[in-house]
Structure formats: structure tokens, C-alpha cells
Amino acid sequence: MYDIQALRKEFPILGREVYGRPLVYLDNAATTQKPRAVVDAITEEYFSVNANVHRGVHYLSQQATELHEAAREKVRAFIGARSTNEVVFTRGTTESINLVASSFGEAFMREGDEVILTVMEHHSNIVPWQLLGQRRGVKIKVVPMDDDGRLDLAEYEKLFTSRTKIVAVCHVSNVLGAENPVGRMAEIAHAHGAHILVDAAQSVPHLPVDVAALGCDFLVFSAHKVYGPTGLGVLYGREDLLERMPPYQGGGEMISRVTFERTTFEQLPFKFEAGTPDYIGTHALAAALAFVERTGLENIARHEHALVRRAVERMQHVDGMRIYGAAEDKGAVVAFNVAGIHPLDLGTLLDRLGVAIRTGHHCAQPLMQRFGTEGMARLSIAMYNTEEEIDRFADALERVCRMF
Ligand code: PLP
């Protein structure tokens, strides 16, 4: 039984009003709202445990270290990694990808080597590779897709050469919302002697993600999109690869011994965690993942899919509606345009009616170019959204369209 009203009570912000109307928050792909359990974890740790982790001999430091490392174990189990050595905490998906591009690039890529991306990548999975390209003379190749947003796997396979070192692909696009066949893409990459990074920023909150089942070498996500705190992310990396990659940043925590002549580095995963980590954030992320587990990812997916189906059904009746990507297998994201109405106007007017959606290029300008548009409107759903909210969105959309 999915008790949506009980669930919503765990998210106090959902009870607020904007412009004198009850808030309908449909911008969850940008960031999710936080349950009490997450905010409580933050306050409890600040009020009763707070101390810097890892090197302290005193009680509080040891307790804070235990919570921080317990969070790493929670993440490990959540994504099915073999060892906590494979779980690196970062500032977010973006930093995780920059870390891999920089460090994997330095260890394994030479001038003329190639990376394969897809046309639907978020800028954070494009620009770090371009920066690497500028530094190292690495080439970027792009997997095309059809008009429904399905990647062309035959073309994908043709892109490989003996110089292809890595593929970096989103598990779920933040615009099109459908799941990419990353397991199959990993098999193909490995058959060609290449590695694969999966950007799971938009999948971890919505479907069970298991790094072993996917067969990926790296997987990245952000805490704030999975009901956790901002400014924290995860990099999963296969231990044998991380072992061979150089540190990304230098500083405290990541060293074993320092002299002015030479420094030796800490073991994994600390080699990649320079400076004081966000140990309060990691404890809060563990609380968020526990909350997701209690609710059940399969229940969440079923609930969200039903809401997406309802949204699409209602939206299709709007004159001039174009929904981007195959409607039938969408997870929690629906991007659209209405002919003759600028998406920014749509977003602004919906906001006045209490409905929060996102408009613009969604940090995916190459994808906008692929569809020949400057921008799109996008609603994105989370575990706490309701059928009534979808109807309020659709009613508001119809009203705005009538005004035009
Ligand atoms: N990748 C995808 C698919 C995303 O949707 C996002 C954020 O919207 C990111 C990467 C970047 O995440 P962050 O800004 O948390 O680093």
C-alpha cells in the first residue's frame, strides 16, 4: 500500500503555498525536497556529534568517523559495489565526472584517443571531456538517436576504434526521461576494450541501480537528487581502475606521508578525497537512502510511472503539444513545447498558478539543437507527487494555453 498522504507529511515544504495557492512542485529532476529524516540527521549530528573525521583520537571524532564510514557502507550496499574502496564522496555528479575525466584521462589516455558520448548528455558529461580533449588532444564522438530519443546502438558500435578508451552515457536523460540500455552498451564497450561511465543522476532516485548488474566501470550521482543534501555526490569506480588512477586534488586526508621532496598517497578511497569531507552530508545521504529503501524503489517507480502516464494523457489533448522522447517508457520526466508559446512564458504563467516546472535548455544544448529548439518546458516527478497535482498542472496548462 503506497500511503501518499503519510509520505507527504514527511516533507514539510510540500505543505506551503506560493502566490496564495498550494505549491505543486514538479521540478524534481533539478532537485528533490527533503524528508524530515534527512534534516533530522543533519541537526542531530551538528548538535550532538560534530567533530572532524578520521584523525581525531577523541570520542566525538571517532563517532563522527563511524557515521561517515557507515554512510559509505550504506552507499556501497545501495548500488551493489563490492567494496567501500570503490565509493568516493565528491561534491556532486559534476565533480565525479570531472574527477574521472581528469584522472582516468591522465592515467589511460594519450593524444588521438577517443571518448564516446551521446547526443542527450547533460553539459556536465560533455564539458569535462572537452577540457580533457583540449589538454590531451582527445577526440569526442557522439552516439546519435532517433526522433523518439532512442540511442542508435548500431551506430554506437560503429564509433569504436582501437583508440576508444571510454564511453560516458546517462542512464536516464534529464530531458527525455527514458532509460538507456546501458548494460548492453557496457558489453559493447568492453568487447572493444573500452571502459564505461554511467551518469546515474536521474536514475538512482527512480529505479534500482546495481553497478554489478550494469557491468559499468564508473557510476556517478548526486545526493540532492535522491532526497539527500546538496553539495555531495558519489563516484563509484572499479577498484583496479581507481588504484591505477592518480589523485584528482591534493591536500589533507588523501596523503600517507609528506615531505618537501615527495608525497605518498592514502589507500582508496581516501586518495580521491582531499580535505575535510562533508561528513554531515554523508550521514544525511545515508538517511535519504534509508528513506528511499523504506518506501521501496519498485513502489516509487510504479507510482511515478502512473503519474507520468496521466500527465502525458492529459497533455496530449492540448493543441500544438509536442512531447519530446518516446512517451510509453518514460520514467519521471516529461519535456514538451506548445506551438506558438515560448517555454519561458509557459513556466512563468504556470508558476503564478502555483505550479513549479523548469524551462530552458536543461543543461543539454546539443540535445536542444538535435530537436531544433532553443528550449523546452519540463515537468519532473518524485515519489511524493499526487494525481491531484498532475491534474492541477494539466488544468493550469490548459488555462495558460487558452490565454494565448
Ligand atoms: N547529469 C544529469 C543527467 C543531470 O540531470 C544533472 C543535473 O541536473 C547532472 C548530471 C549534474 O548534477 P549536479 O549539478 O548535481 O552535479
The pTM for the full model equals: 0.98
Return the ligand 1 atom nearest residue 121 CA: 3
Catalytic residue among 170, 216, 363, 401: 363
Neighbours of 226 (CB within 10 A): 22
CA 221 to chain centre: 4
| Residue 33 CB less than 6 A away from ligand 1 | no
Q: Tell me how far apart the 2 most distant CA atoms of the chain are, in Å.
A: 72
| Helical spans, DSSP H, in 231-386 | 239-244, 279-295, 297-315, 343-352, 365-370
State in Å: Cα 107 to ligand 1 middle. Answer: 25
Q: Strands 233-237 and 87-90, how do they pair?
A: antiparallel
Return the ligand 1 atom nearest residue 93 CA: 16
Distance CA 241, CA 245 (A): 6
Angle (CA) 9-13-16 rounded to 5° is 100
Active-site residue, 170 included: no
Helix, coil or strand: residue 77: helix
| Residue 204 CB less than 6 A away from ligand 1 | no
State in Å: Cα 278 to ligand 1 middle. Answer: 19
Per residue of the chain (404 residues), give pLDDT as tens: 899 999 999 999 999 999 999 999 999 999 999 999 999 999 999 999 999 999 889 999 999 999 999 999 999 999 999 999 999 999 999 999 999 999 999 999 999 999 999 999 999 999 999 999 999 999 999 999 999 999 999 999 999 999 999 999 999 999 999 899 999 999 999 999 999 999 999 999 999 999 999 999 999 999 999 999 999 999 999 999 999 999 999 999 899 999 999 999 999 999 999 999 999 999 999 999 999 999 999 999 999 999 999 999 999 999 999 999 976 778 899 999 999 999 999 999 999 999 999 999 999 999 999 999 999 999 999 999 999 999 999 999 999 999 99
Contact 326, 149 (CB under 8 A): yes
| Residue 93 CB less than 6 A away from ligand 1 | yes
| Residue 282 CB less than 6 A away from ligand 1 | no
User: What pLDDT, on the 0 to 100 scale, is given for residue 327?
Assistant: 61
User: What pLDDT, on the 0 to 100 scale, is given for residue 111?
Assistant: 98
Helix, coil or strand: residue 235: strand
Angle (CA) 203-205-210 rounded to 5° is 60
What are the beta bridge partners of residue 336? 323, 377
User: What pLDDT, on the 0 to 100 scale, is given for residue 55?
Assistant: 81
Distance CA 377, CA 100 (A): 31
| Residue 201 CB less than 6 A away from ligand 1 | yes
User: What pLDDT, on the 0 to 100 scale, is given for residue 1?
Assistant: 80
State in Å: Cα 371 to ligand 1 middle. Answer: 20
